[in-house]
């Protein structure tokens, strides 16, 4: 009887700080004490571990004083991920398995009362953090979690279905433990999963389904080529949602790093699915979503919709109907590409480099300027409705576009539009030009890099200066227009940004009708 140390990992944002599960068995009044700033679900591990060990046919030391410490003591721990390392620590401290052979392994898994292992949240994030920190170790995880962790290159991941499957691997030498798993015995090392070559061709709806709307498709192409945000304004039924839902297919295939980061955040949120591996996410929160739901929060901090849309698309339909606080919380992430959640007890940072596609009606009834029906809103109502979106937020959206309603004749008889694959090819070519020139997309340009990359011709500079002065644009608005113009030039294959590139970019920063928003 004595002391045993078992290694595990906690979750704090996308980090996976090390946790040492210390188990001490000693003579005294029988008890089972768990310390180390454990949350409620961690403390409940006492009952799960006791039942799992007994129902697996192993011996639980009822007549001993059991003390389990989760170190470091000042790091909050949550979820049932520590069930497996606690159980192994008790078995090792009581001499049923070899504690020395546990070294070099990291364990995580929730135990059922029968001893079966259940998946845990954030397995991919944990595996990615170990890979980033260059920690060489063996991960032992339940089914469902092990497959996630095996997506990380060079990760050594072992899948165990039951507590007994793990115990069999760490029996004392001479008692049947040789460290090698027999095929089909519930313990297996998983091969690393490669990035599929055709991932970008699967799971996306085709833009050819949208008939007409050539102007909107052009704006989507520009947005995809330069990573620009886009606001679609139009009456109900004009196709705004259909366009937005097909936008992710225009983006280039995900790199391994992008796919891992996106999947790791989804794993933290408990929404990762292997069939969506390397597919760019499209998050469409309902307009009743709170600021915490959008940007993240809670205790412990969890990623919000903007982080779940990392390297993908955040689609906000009926944008003015979102709470004002939720929309204003998007201002910093749109600029920085990450969100920092600071609370009194802890602080976590999540990546949030998403492309915002927003849709809204021009007025409360939705038919301002429409040829279908007459608008019944007063100018005051229109201004109040459009004024729900603040000027600073609108200023951060690169492209503003009106999407008119399609006449019935065009809807019924128009031929299918250009396919997603054809448009994506042009977008990928333009984006690669930007990457070769400056190492980033045009939207990410900052400071001096804007002047160097845009290469604005003198005539175009004079044209932009005069237009910006008349329209009263802010400095941010001018820079956003320059970035869009550079993307238009890249789509055309031009080395410099010319007058017609700037003129087209200016058309995408128009003022909404009703005067509620100054673009």
Q: At what angle do helices 458-471 and 499-507 cross, to 10 degrees?
A: 20
**Domain presence at residue 51:** yes
The answer to whether the Cα torsion of 86, 88, 90, 92 is positive or negative is: negative
Residue ranges for the chain with pLDDT beneath 50: 179, 181, 183, 199-200, 513-519
Assign residue 28 a region (left: φ > 0; alpha: ψ between -120 and 50; beta: otherwise): left
Per-residue pLDDT, 371: 79
Task: Determine if the pTM surpasses 0.85.
Answer: yes
- Contacts with 517 (C-beta within 8 Å, 6 or more apart), sequence order: 386, 387, 389, 391, 394, 511
**Domain presence at residue 487:** no
Shared-domain flag, residues 207 and 342: yes
**Domain presence at residue 514:** no
Shared-domain flag, residues 347 and 421: yes
Shared-domain flag, residues 206 and 347: yes
Per-residue pLDDT, 53: 97
Per-residue pLDDT, 278: 87
Shared-domain flag, residues 422 and 275: yes
Assign residue 403 a region (left: φ > 0; alpha: ψ between -120 and 50; beta: otherwise): beta
Per-residue pLDDT, 186: 87
**Domain presence at residue 437:** no
Per-residue pLDDT, 502: 94
**Domain presence at residue 112:** yes
Give the residue among 375, 387, 395 at the shortest CA–CA distance from 468: 395
Shared-domain flag, residues 298 and 156: no
Per-residue pLDDT, 513: 44
Shared-domain flag, residues 365 and 390: yes
The whole-angstrom distance between residue 457's C-alpha and the CA centroid of its chain comes to 39
The whole-angstrom distance between residue 75's C-alpha and the CA centroid of its chain comes to 24
CATH of the domain at 8: 3.30.230.10
Give the residue among 295, 269, 274, 206 at the shortest CA–CA distance from 243: 206
Shared-domain flag, residues 240 and 115: no
Give the C-alpha separation, 219 to 486, whole Å.
14
Indicate the residue among 427, 460, 487 that finishes a domain: 427
Shared-domain flag, residues 284 and 420: yes
Indicate the residue among 357, 392, 427 that finishes a domain: 427
Q: How many domains does the chain have?
A: 2
Shared-domain flag, residues 22 and 126: yes
Output b/e per residue, 43-82; b: 16+ Cβ within 10 A.
eebbebbbbbbeebebebbeebebbbbbeeeeebbbbbbb
* Residues spanned by the domain of 14: 3-190
Indicate the residue among 166, 190, 214 that finishes a domain: 190
Shared-domain flag, residues 396 and 311: yes
Q: Cβ(297)–Cβ(289) under 8 Å?
A: no
Shared-domain flag, residues 368 and 291: yes
Measured at the CA of 36, the angle between CA 87 and CA 86, to 5 degrees, comes to 5
Shared-domain flag, residues 296 and 405: yes
The whole-angstrom distance between residue 15's C-alpha and the CA centroid of its chain comes to 15
């Amino acid at each position: 009887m004595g002391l045993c140390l078992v290694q595990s990992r906690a979750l704090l944002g996308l980090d996976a700080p090390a946790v040492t599960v210390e188990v001490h068995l000693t003579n005294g009044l029988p008890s089972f004490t768990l310390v180390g700033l454990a949350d409620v679900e961690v403390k409940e591990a006492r009952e799960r571990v006791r039942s799992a060990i007994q129902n697996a046919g192993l011996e639980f030391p009822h007549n001993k004083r059991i003390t389990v410490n989760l170190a470091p003591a000042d790091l909050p721990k949550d979820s049932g991920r520590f069930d497996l390392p606690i159980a192994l620590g008790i078995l090792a401290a009581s001499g049923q398995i070899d504690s020395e052979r546990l070294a070099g392994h990291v364990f995580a898994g929730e135990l059922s009362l029968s001893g079966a292992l259940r998946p845990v949240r954030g397995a991919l994030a944990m595996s990615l953090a170990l890979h980033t920190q260059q920690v060489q170790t063996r991960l032992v995880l339940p089914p469902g979690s092990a497959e996630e962790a095996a997506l990380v290159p060079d990760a050594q991941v072992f899948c165990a279905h039951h507590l007994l499957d793990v115990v069999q691997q760490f029996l004392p030498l001479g008692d049947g433990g040789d460290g090698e798993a027999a095929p089909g015995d519930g313990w297996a090392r998983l091969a690393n999963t490669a990035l599929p070559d055709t991932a970008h061709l699967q799971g996306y709806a085709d833009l050819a389904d949208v008939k007409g709307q050539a102007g909107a498709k052009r704006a989507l192409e520009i947005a995809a080529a330069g990573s620009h945000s886009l606001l679609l304004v139009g009456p109900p039924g004009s196709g705004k949602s259909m366009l937005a839902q097909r936008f992710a297919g225009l983006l280039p295939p995900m790199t391994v790093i992008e796919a891992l980061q996106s999947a790791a955040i989804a794993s933290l949120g408990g929404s990762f699915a292997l069939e969506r591996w390397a597919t760019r996410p499209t998050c469409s929160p309902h307009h009743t979503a709170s600021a915490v739901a959008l940007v993240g929060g809670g205790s412990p901090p969890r990623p919000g919709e903007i982080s779940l849309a990392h390297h993908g698309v955040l689609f906000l339909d009926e944008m003015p109907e979102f709470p004002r606080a939720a929309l204003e919380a998007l201002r910093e992430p749109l600029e920085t590409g990450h969100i920092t959640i600071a609370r009194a007890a802890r602080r976590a940072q999540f990546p949030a480099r998403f492309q915002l596609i927003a849709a809204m009606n021009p007025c409360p009834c939705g038919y301002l300027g429409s040829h279908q029906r007459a608008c019944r809103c007063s100018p005051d109502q229109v201004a109040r409705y459009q004024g729900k979106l603040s000027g600073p937020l609108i200023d951060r959206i690169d492209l503003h576009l009106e999407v008119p309603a399609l006449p019935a004749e065009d809807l019924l008889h128009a031929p299918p539009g250009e396919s997603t694959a054809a448009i994506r090819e042009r977008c990928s070519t333009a984006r690669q030009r930007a990457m070769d020139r400056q190492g980033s997309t045009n939207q990410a340009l900052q400071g001096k890099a804007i002047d160097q990359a845009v290469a604005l011709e003198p005539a175009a500079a004079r044209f932009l200066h005069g237009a910006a002065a008349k329209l009263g644009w802010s400095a941010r608005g001018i820079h956003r227009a320059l970035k869009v113009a550079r993307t238009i030039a890249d789509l055309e294959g031009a080395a410099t940004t010319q007058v017609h590139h700037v003129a087209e970019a200016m058309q995408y920063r128009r003022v909404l009708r009703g005067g509620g928003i100054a673009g």
